[in-house]
Amino acid sequence: MNTLGSFTIRKLTGLSAFRTGMFRLLRSVSGITVFLMGPILLVSQGTRDYNPKQMAIREKVFNTIVSCFKRHGAETIDTPVFELKETLTGKYGEDSKLIYDLKDQGGELLSLRYDLTVPFARFLAMNKISNIKRYHIAKVYRRDNPAMTRGRYREFYQCDFDIAGHYDPMIPDAECLRIVSEILGELDLGDFHIKVNDRRILDGMFAVCGVPDDKFRTICSTVDKLDKMCWEDVKNEMVKEKGLSEEAADMIGQYVSMQGGMDLAVRLLEDPKMSQSKQACAGLSDMKQLFSYLELFQVTDKVVFDLSLARGLDYYTGVIYEAMLGPAGESLSVGSVAGGGRYDGLVGMFDPKGRAVPCVGVSIGVERIFSILEQKAEAEKVRTTEVQVLVASAQKNLLEERLRLVTELWNAGIKAESMFKKNPKLLSQLQHCEESGIPLVAILGEQELKNGMVKLRTVATREEVRDSCVCVCVCNSLIAIKSRQC
């Protein structure tokens, strides 16, 4: 399809239907391309529906994450999916071109939120909140090139946890790292590690290596590419594209290859060059402090002080971090699964008097996690409902009795259903249980009805009991099934 010019593509209404795959819309008839029009059956590029199985996986991941956030005492907030365009302007640097704007339909100029951090800062300033520990789970929007098999979408979830307030240094920062570690551990994604660095250490390093002040941010962006490019290419970009001197680049090269723990911070504090930068020293002392708290939080084995970590966003002012799957030094291709850092200046940008509220936070990259877990679950059977019992009938003309019984079960708070047919076959009722994993069937028959009883069958074992007190019987059987599974 790429041979069609974009003009042609735009002129053909409904053309996006050719991507549906449900029926052939495009044929080549003696060399002439013919479009067969049909209903539109698509979602927008870079977005997707979640089917029930995917939703079951998503719910499990969210439950793990929210439990962790709540264990750490967070409240939650929500903000609108779109913000005034001005709110987002000037916050994302080059990436601003990826913001989705709404059409001007007469009224305000609006944009879809790009992350949850800027709306959070706006919320704090607008409500004059100077300290809060909050989480926010919601979708954000970026007009980026999607790579959907690797979990990169244009509409995707972010799970953010942030701590705002004036506190003693590095305590909230360390708690954020503990949270990342708890979540990635509990999600059972295999080995992982978290890289940390500090924007002040980076800036100090740039200064002592002789990078001119006005090139800090652009050189920082180049350093950020070290996870995807080799050092030679990164150096090339610095020297040839960004006009840095070869000596400065080489010196940076030495530093960014360093990895370690508290020991590295101690060593660099004594480094003849680094120690000349006040900024670097402030960052390094805090890094030392951070590692001492990480020790108390029992997560030092997961955290690596890595001078090559730079992070893309402009608003970071202190500690930054990024979590990768795989053991340290062997990041898997999936990219980072969590990231964040300290941003002490953002709230002040929204405050009329510029009052700053220091913040530190972390964002869990759940889409990549979903992708991994979905691939793992491909062959598995995942239950998508929680029905505990199906009310079935063995003979015809028992619809009323079934509906009466299912009502009793609902009244008792039991998750139950009955088929929407007047006379379903027993076999198809039992098949439905097996397909959707319903553990129990309550079977009504004329004989049982005469005796005021019901037959309860455990689907997996085919064991049967007869009882008159169906609700109690269902509850007991469910407890029995549960204890057998334990």
* Contact flag: residue 63 with its own copies (CB under 8 A): no
27 is in an annotated binding site: no
Instruction: Check whether 50 is labelled as a binding-site residue.
Output: no
Among 3, 30, 420, 462, indicate the residue that binds its own copies (CB under 8 A).
420
| DSSP-assigned letters across all residues of 437-462 | T--EEEEE-HHHHHTT-EEEEETTT-
407 is in an annotated binding site: no
State whether residue 361 is helix, strand or coil: strand
What gap in Å lies between CA 47 and CA 152, rounded to an integer?
Answer: 9
Query: Rounded distance, CA 109 to CA 60, Å?
Result: 37
Q: Is 289 annotated for ligand binding?
A: no
Give the one residue of 60, 79, 148, 334 binding its own copies; rule: CB under 8 A.
Answer: 79
Q: Which residue of 278, 404, 466, 482 would you call a contact of its own copies, by CB under 8 A?
A: 404
Residues in 231-290 that interact with its own copies by CB under 8 A: none
For the CB of residue 403, give the shortest distance to its own copies in the complex, in Å. 4
Nearer to its own copies, 47 or 275 (CB): 47
Instruction: Compute CA distances 223 → 233, 261, 310, 331, whole Å.
Output: 10, 20, 6, 17
Rounded least distance, CB 482 to its own copies, Å: 17
Q: Which helix (H) or strand (E) holds 52?
A: helix 52-71
User: What whole-number distance in Å separates Cα of residue 11 and Cα of residue 13?
Assistant: 6
Task: Specify the length of the chain in residues.
Answer: 486
Instruction: Check if the beta carbon of residue 458 is closer than 8 Å to that of residue 479.
Output: no
- Decide if 465 contacts 481 (C-beta within 8 A): no
Closest distance of CB 301 from its own copies, Å: 14
Angle at 445 between CA 390 and CA 477, to 5 degrees: 40
Query: For residue 190, is it left (φ>0), alpha (ψ between -120 and 50) or beta?
Result: left
* Part in contact with its own copies (CB under 8 A); list of ranges 211-219, 240-248, 250-258, 416-424: 416-424
Pairing of strands 132-141, 155-164: antiparallel
Q: At what angle do helices 278-296 and 199-208 cross, to 10 degrees?
A: 150
What's the gap between Cα 220 and its chain centre?
25
Of residues 181, 151, 176, the one with CA closest to residue 164: 176
**Closest CB to its own copies among 22 and 469?**
22
Q: Give the one residue of 60, 62, 95, 143 binding its own copies; rule: CB under 8 A.
A: 143
Using CB under 8 A as the binding rule, the residues of this chain from 436 to 475 that contact its own copies are none
Size of site (CB under 8 A) for its own copies = 101
CB atoms within 10 A of CB 133: 17
Q: Does position 192 bind its own copies by CB under 8 A? A: no
CA gyration radius, the chain:
29
- Which residues does residue 27 pair with via DSSP β-bridges, in sequence order? 34
In the set 92, 123, 255, 343, which binds its own copies (CB under 8 A)? 123
Per DSSP, 153 falls in state -
Q: Does 35 bind its own copies (CB under 8 A)?
A: no
- Minimum distance from residue 22 beta carbon to its own copies (Å): 6
Regarding 215 and contact with its own copies (CB under 8 A), the answer is no
**142 is known to lie in a ligand binding site:** yes
Q: Least distance to its own copies from the beta carbon of 455, Å? A: 20
Residue 219 or 405 having the CB closest to its own copies: 405
* 115 among annotated binding-site residues: yes
Does the annotation place 461 within a ligand binding site? no
Site string for its own copies, 319-358 (x = CB under 8 A): ------------------------------xxxx------
CA dist 78 and 116 (Å) reads 9
Given 4, 33, 78, 479, the residue binding its own copies (CB under 8 A): 78
Residue 158 known to bind ligand:
yes
Residue number with CB closer to its own copies (237 or 286): 286
User: What x-and-dash track marks residues 146-175 binding its own copies by CB under 8 A?
Assistant: ---------x-------x-x-xx--xx--x
Could you tell me the smallest distance in angstroms from the CB atom of residue 149 to its own copies?
A: 18
Contact status: 44 vs its own copies (CB under 8 A): yes
CB 363 within 8 A of CB 140: no
Asked if residues 410 and 396 have their Cβ atoms less than 8 Å apart, the reply is no
Q: Report if residue 144 touches its own copies, rule: CB under 8 A.
A: no
Half-sphere exposure of 126 (CA within 13 A, CB side): 8
Q: Is 95 annotated as a binding residue?
A: no
CB atoms within 10 A of CB 212: 13
Looking at residues 368 to 387 of the shown chain, list those that interact with its own copies (rule: CB under 8 A): 384-387
Min CB(257)–its own copies separation in Å: 32
Can you tell me which of 410, 447, 468, 469 binds its own copies, judged by CB under 8 A?
410
CA 335 to chain centre: 13
**Binding residue positions:** 115-117, 142, 158, 162, 311, 315-316
**Binding residue positions for L-histidine:** 115-117, 142, 158, 162, 311, 315-316
